[in-house]
Structure 1
Amino acid sequence: MDKVDVRFPQPAKAPPSNLPKNALERATVLVTLMARMTSLLQQETAAVQARRPTSELAQFAKDKQPMSLVYEDISRTLRVDREGMRNLPDELKASLKEAATALYAASAENAEALRLGGIAQKIIVDTVVGAVTKAQKAPTTAYAAHMGGGRGYTPPPSGSRASATLNTRL
Structure 2
Amino acid sequence: MDKVDVRFPQQARPTANLPKNAQERAIALVELMVRLTALLERESAAVRARRPAKELAQIVKDKQPMTLVYEEVSRLLRVDRDGLASLPPELKTALKEATGKLYAATADNAEALRVGSAAQKVMVDTVVGVISRQQKAPSTAYAAHMGGGRGYSAPPSGPRTSAALNTRL
Q: Which residue of 2 aligns with 1:33?
A: 32
Distance 1:29 1:127, change over 3 A: same
Following the alignment from structure 1 to structure 2, what is the Cα–Cα distance between the partners of residues 59 and 155? Answer: 49
Query: What displacement does 1:15 show?
Result: 4.1
Q: Is the 8 A contact 1:141 1:154 kept in 2?
A: no
Q: How far does residue 136 in structure 1 lie from its aligned partner after superposition?
A: 1.8
Amino acid at match of 1:122: K
Report the Cα offset of residue 13 of structure 1.
6.6
CA deviations on 1:87-117 (whole Å, 9 max, x unpaired) are 0000000000000000000000001100110
Unaligned runs of 5+ residues in structure 1 are 144-151
Amino acid at match of 1:95: A
AA aligned opposite 1:43: R
> How many Å separate the matches in 1 of 2:153 and 2:95?
77
Of Structure 1 and Structure 2, the greater strand share is in 1
Could you tell me whether the CA contact under 8 Å between 1:141 and 1:155 is conserved in 2? no
Match of residue 85 from structure 1: 84
- Normalising by the residue count of structure 1, what TM-score does the alignment of the two structures yield? 0.78
Match in the other structure for 1:46: 45
Query: 1:100-139 alignment to 2 at 5 Å?
Result: 100-139=99-138
- Distance across 2 between alignment mates of 1:130 and 1:7: 57
Indicate conservation of the 8 Å contact 2:36/2:63, yes or no. yes
Quick one: structure 1 residues 67 and 126, their matched pair in 2 at CA, closer, same or farther if it must change by over 3 Å?
Answer: same
CA RMSD after TM alignment: 3.0
**C-alpha displacement of 1:20:** 0.6
Q: Give the match for residue 22 of structure 2.
A: 23
Most deviating of 27-36 and 129-138? 129-138
Letter in 2 for 1:108: A
Aligned equivalents of 2:56 and 2:14: distance in 1?
A: 35
Kindly, what percent of the aligned residue pairs are identical?
A: 63
Q: Is the 8 A contact 2:155 2:163 kept in 1?
A: no
Quick one: distance in 2 between partners of 1:56 and 1:123? 22
- 1:83 to 1:153, Cα distance in 2 relative to 1, 3 A: same
CA offsets 1:14-46 (integer angstroms, 9 cap, x no match): 842x21110000000000000000000000000
Are residue 59 (structure 1) and residue 50 (structure 2) matched? no
